[in-house]
A = this chain, B = another copy of it.
Amino acid sequence: MAAEGKEAPSRLAAETWESLFRAQVAVMRKLQAGKAFKNVAINEYDVLFTLSRCPSGWLRLNELNDHVLLSQSSLSRLVERLEKRGLVVRQPAPDDGRGVLLKLTEEGAALQKEIGREHVRDISSLVVPALTAAEQKELQRLTDKLRNSVGAKPLK
């Protein structure tokens, strides 16, 4: 073998990321077209979904921000819109005067569940025919590992 040095590893890494990214684009494109996101943008749903997963029900705005691909100011305004629509409520954080806590309203929780069911159907229709159960588990393991290594913070 020739003097490949350290070219190969970074090439493999770049190709791996490229594949992951393109798969995400391809799937996301289909999901966005689904009727689940006719009235609620995908970023908005993502916030509702994340809140629905939160054990305590309340989540800090900055923790939410780590989870979502939006700038801080965009998230601030997205949440403002959700509040105006009556889907979430804000509350000043008790232990930190700067912070803001968020929670789903009843209506927000109901809407999340409704869209969620549709969304899961859409996802299944894309993923199930593509990969066996074992492959899905392996893909999940690898992407979780990547995310943890890159430095994702767990939700509280």
- Interface residues in chain A, defined as those with a beta carbon under 8 Å from any beta carbon in chain B: 9-17, 19-30, 67-69, 119-121, 123-124, 126-131, 133, 135-140, 142-152
Contacts and interface: CB of A to CB of B under 8 A. Distances in A.
Q: Indicate the member of A28, A133, A146 with the most B CB atoms within 10 Å.
A: A146
A interface majority secondary structure: helix
B147 A19 contact: yes
Contact of A133 (B9, B22, B144, B146): B9
B139 A14 contact: no
A136 B138 CA distance: 12
Nearest to A119: B14
B23 A143 contact: yes
Given A120-B10, A124-B10, A21 B24 contact: yes
8 contacts: A12-B136, A13-B127, A15-B140, A24-B24, A30-B151, A126-B146, A130-B150, A138-B138
A143 B142 CA distance: 11
B150 A131 contact: no
B150 A26 contact: yes
